[in-house]
Amino acid sequence: MPIKTAYQAKVEYLQIMDEHGVVDEKLAKDAMSDQDILELYQYMGKCRVLDETAFKLQRSKRMGTYPQNKGQEACAIGAGFSLKQGVDYLVPCYRENAALWMHGLPMHYIFLHWMGDERGNQIPKGVCQLPLCIPIGTQMLHATGIAWAFKMRKEARVAMTFFGDGATSEGDFHEAMNFASAFQVPCIFFCQNNQWAISVPREQQMNSATVAQKALAYDMPCIQVDGNDLLAVHKAAKDFVERARAGGGPAFIEAVTYRLADHTTADDARRYRDPQEVEAWVNKDPMIRLRKYLTAKGLWNDAKQAALDEAAKQNATEVVRAAEGIEKPAVTDIFDYTYAEMPRELEIQRRTMRTSSLGQRPEQAGLNAPGVAANHE
């Protein structure tokens, strides 16, 4: 019998605006309006200043370890802009601050999280997102479950989960992808391929030409986009979100971007990255190309940039003030926000602030004394 082709596929690459701010007019026509681009550029500027502020707080010992988002903002903003606030669910990793703020998370909550205050993980009611996820890859399973619930309830809602290229080497990634595909749930898998899994380059952690092609194993539509191109990211995300909302099932986006800063403030990327590589990616910064585009359109100038910088600094000051000025949490909080109805043993711990038997019933200290009877709880 002749050999037949059992399966054949391709991965498309999308770029609408290059690093010089030049757009493909045909592709840009249905991508995003100039007014949207202008507003999102200003928002990106505020997010960049907040990111730099967090870095300074860590260096001044006012915050714990912090992973900068610098250079990857177009991914979070472009993808986040494709979702409906209060309807669709964001399931983040830890470089999607801009998307979380866009969808209603108070800005100082991110600062609280990295300051070690658990109140930063207490997502306000009505804000459709999960807290930052530090373990690599586990959040993709959560997103798949949320999307499955949407499908079972017949709700026109979508879950979008973010992760890095390194996370696609985790077993959780493949389990989530397989489940999402098998049950055709409305989940968008958004990979921020920033080229490095901490200190391991993408080429050493996988042998595939693209990350996106991993979705082909699950018969899931996929695309690779310029992750520093706000327009390309948004178009790809918008198309897949609309498809998922209409019952078309999951999809995968690989956004090719770069981590301009260290992995976290506990890392020193100079030990493993070529300075020339970093410099090349600095020139591809999403903010640089957007400013070039807006300037060429007559929508931006140095005076407006100065005003944005000042507004961003003021906003950052207010966010820091909110985070550092929050009232000290009550010790009883660890009891009050776990159970709807507190178990008896925890009620005793809360009242006595002790876990030991003697601490909870100090009268036991005299049990051996004549005539002393214990008053048991």
Active site residues per annotation: 259, 263, 272
- Classify residue 298 by burial, with Cβ atoms within 10 Å: 0-12, 13-18, 19+: exposed
Token pair recorded at residue 27: 């592709």
**CA distances (Å), origin 264, targets 59, 114, 137, 284:** 12, 11, 17, 21
CB atoms within 10 A of CB 207: 6
